[in-house]
């Protein structure tokens, strides 16, 4: 089982958890669309850096 650390209480919780069971901290989730936009922007900036 993979875990992640809660930034609020430092408790190790399941990686799939959306809310910490101890302190009720809600983990932020980014949609797949935001990830693809970030990847495209990074690639574009790298290409612009190396071309110019």
Are 29 and 18 in contact by the 8 Å Cβ rule? The answer is yes
Task: State residue 35's pLDDT score.
Answer: 87
Q: Which long-range contacts (CB under 8 A, 24 or more apart) does 30-34 make?
A: none
Task: State residue 46's pLDDT score.
Answer: 95
In the chain, the number of structural domains is 1
β-pair partners for 26: 19
Please state the pTM of the whole predicted model.
Answer: 0.54
pLDDT digits (tens, 9 = 90+) for 1-52: 799 999 999 999 999 999 999 999 999 887 888 889 999 999 999 999 988 7
Give residue 34's domain range: 3-51
Q: What Rg value do the Cα atoms of the chain yield, rounded?
A: 17
Report phi then psi at 6, rounded to 5: -70, 125
Task: State residue 48's pLDDT score.
Answer: 94
Are 38 and 46 in contact by the 8 Å Cβ rule? The answer is no
């Amino acid at each position: 089982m993979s875990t992640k650390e809660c930034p609020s209480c430092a408790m190790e919780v399941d990686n799939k958890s959306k809310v910490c069971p101890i302190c009720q901290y809600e983990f932020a989730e980014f949609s797949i669309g935001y990830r693809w936009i970030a990847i495209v922007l990074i690639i574009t900036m790298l290409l612009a850096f190396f071309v110019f």
